[in-house]
Chains A and B, each alone.
Chain A
Amino acid sequence: MTKVCVPTAGPGGLDDRVGEHFGRVPTYTIYDAKTENVEVVDNSSEHAGGTGLPADILAGLGIDVLLCSGLGRRAIGILTEHGIEVCVGQSGTARDAIDAWKGGRLSGASDADACQQHAFRDRHG
């Protein structure tokens, strides 16, 4: 596992805050654990006026792990189908989340971790 993605609330980067909602953040900050390279990708999904679902876009970018605050049940399902590991409950900066992941302090998400306000709405990303 090398590519780690953190949804970020602002312009992105390691010092940006973890975005509150996976699908609706403006940027995704991507950290390559092998090369230590950091890349910022704009949210081009339909949630941000573009096309496609964020989960599919991240899969297309070759993401292995998602570290986020919260997300909907269906997003967890699609990410899991793509083989992307999901860790919820992150806060602080992208760097904090990545450090916690590096330290092995995070565990994977399941359906039970889905944001409750979306749990009844399958169409959420």
Chain B
Amino acid sequence: MRIAIASGKGGTGKTTVAVNLAVALAERESVQFLDCDVEEPNAHLFLDPQFSDRETVSKLLPVIDEAACTRCGACAEACEFGAIAVLAETVLVYPEICHGCGRCRMVCPANAIREEPHELGVVESGLARGIPFAHGLLTVGEAMATPIIHRLKERIDPERTAILDAPPGTGCPTIAAIAGADVALLVTEPTPFGLHDLKAAVGVARSLDVPTSVVINRDGVGDDGVERYCRAEGIPVALSIPFDREIASLYSSGTILVDARPEWKPRFVGLASQLKEMAK
């Protein structure tokens, strides 16, 4: 079972929900935690893992042999992403746009393209409270997060309940994290901003054929727009977390809610049960 915790809007409480779900569930079954927010991972601040492994993630970039190149333009034409521009005197490769697919090398009639690995970041893994934990770290200045997320997902153990803390938004990194999940748990706040971005996230999950459930965080602020939307769309609101100073304060000190307030444990266990029902 793979549960992706996602949200359109950032800062809604994805990590809070993911971490509490993992800790509450770990008392009853084998879980695994993957922090897929590789641009700004933060679950380690709460789970405090001991890392035992560090793996570099790279993508292959084309290198042009200018002497052999005939400026025919076949590489630029073949590139799906516009990552190569063939000019009169030279060929430009835009590393941040290149997806490392190798098509340019394959189509080059002059054999003037070779590929070299370009480091994007790392995957660190270890144990946190006995829970297998891994997260990715995109190197500052790099633009492409998806290869790191795909590498993280290779570590999913089908025997465990995998909790994937997805990046915010609805772009490629979020899609990479949600794709293949059994259920997407979308965390939102009950505000017009939260609703706007929730709708976008629901659109992503639906296009990936992943069933969705919603957690409303900071319940009590804003309005009832999210609830009305969920009702109209038939999306279950599986849990509401109130807007509460103590909860915010615990978060700020890196304390996990279910540790400090054990009454929350059965609520997160109940949340997991609902997700399992949906995933069937």
Contact = CB atoms under 8 A, between A and B. Distances in A.
A81 B92 contact: yes
A53 interface: yes
Given A46-B97, A81-B87, A51 B92 contact: no
Interface residues of A, number: 14
Interface in B84-106: 85, 87-90, 92, 94, 96-97
B73 to A, nearest CB: 11
- Dominant secondary structure of chain B at its interface with chain A: loop
Given A46-B81, A46-B97, A81-B90, 6 more contacts: A45-B82, A51-B82, A55-B85, A78-B85, A78-B92, A82-B87
B92 to A, nearest CB: 7
A51 B90 CA distance: 21
A56 B85 contact: yes
Interface of B: 80-83, 85, 87-90, 92, 94, 96-97, 143
Contacts, number: 34
Nearest to A82: B87
B90 A123 contact: no
A123 B87 CA distance: 18
A92 interface: no
B143 A56 contact: no
B81 A51 contact: yes
Given A46-B81, A78-B85, A53 B97 contact: yes
A46 B85 contact: no
A52 interface: yes
Contact of A46 (B82, B88, B89, B92): B82
7 contacts: A51-B82, A78-B85, A78-B92, A81-B92, A82-B87, A83-B88, A123-B94
Interface string A44-64: 011000011101110100000
Contacts of A52: 81-83, 97
A112 to B, nearest CB: 22
Interface string A85-125: 00000000000000000000000000000000000000100
B93 to A, nearest CB: 12
Contacts of A53: 82, 85, 94, 97
Contacts of A81: 85, 87, 89-90, 92
Nearest to A49: B171
Nearest to A52: B82
B7 to A, nearest CB: 20
A56 B89 CA distance: 15
Contacts of A51: 80-82, 97
Nearest to A121: B141
A52 B94 CA distance: 9
Nearest to A46: B97
Contacts of B96: 123
